[in-house]
Amino acid sequence: MGFEHELASVLGIKRSILVNSGSSANLVAVSALTSHKLGDRAILPGDEVITCAAGFPTTVAPIIQNGAVPVFLDNNPVTLNANLDRLEEAYVPGKTKAVMMAHTLGNPFDLERIVTFCRQHDLWLIEDNCDSLGSTYTFPAGHEEALRFRKPLAENGEAVAYPTGTFGDLSTQSFYPPHHLTLGEGGAVNVVRDMRLKVLVESFRDWGRDCWCASGKDNTCGKRFGWQLGELPEGYDHKYIYSHLGYNLKPLDIQAAIGREQLKKLERFSAARRANWETLRRGLGHLEEYFEFHLPTHATGGRRRAGSLGK
């Protein structure tokens, strides 16, 4: 079992697809949702994507690179995530196609609200999980129907905790050295549940090709020379048909090999980050009258709801 399968297993999602960086992962994720193969749900030039006003630039750049329009929600200065007070105002029927936001520095955005909003309006959701591998979000008991595609990771009688990066249609990871795992460099696009998106993600990663055969494999579809697509002659070799304007954003095998070893240490790395956060927060507690400290999502009175943080 390779790194892609192991990462998907850890997250409990359908598939993880490696790319050469987290920024490339964001580009591929947005690009995949522009595919003509998605019909009316495809993100077209001029369509709108709701996102956060301040964050890392490559959360927003792919929206613009694909000709869509980012619609910004201001940040909450305490959580550093989007302030959702004007979320409904940001939605325009017929124009809004997706929401793309990052879980800032390991602190999940309000997934309960965003997931409900996206389901209500039939929008794509891309979670930029590059800062947050190992974080979980505590979903209130009784709301599992909104996440009907998943089983609970853990239960405490009142709430259910799920890993971030498993709520949207797609999510992304970065394996740049300061993040939770490092492959030297690298990233991944996670396909949460709809395997139609796997083929599109791989197409945009791999030059835009229409064929979905793995490297070194041929004729997976069983009709390599039996297709008739577009204006190409019937029988044209499917392995050399390109249906998207794609990229070459593949990683190296050695990166995946490093990732397999790193993944074994994820739980320990995450525990160390949480411990560091707690140590710093306690150590700086006497300065509360001078600073407004950042708080985790849904924190109340300086305390956080269990399981909501994984810096």
Active site members:
179
Helices (H) and strands (E) in the chain — how many of each? Answer: 8, 10
CA 237 distance to own-chain centroid: 33
Please compute Rg for the chain using Cα positions.
20
CA angle 160, 161, 164 (to 5 degrees): 140
**Cα–Cα dist 219/225, whole Å:** 9
**Which residues have CB under 8 Å from 35's CB, separation 6+?**
42, 200, 203, 204, 244
Taking the CB of residue 234, how many other CB atoms lie within 10 A of it? Answer: 9
Which one, of 107, 126, 208, lies nearest residue 167 by Cα? 126
DSSP one-letter code for 75: B
Taking CA atoms, 171 is separated from 155, 190, 284, 299, in Å, by 24, 5, 34, 24
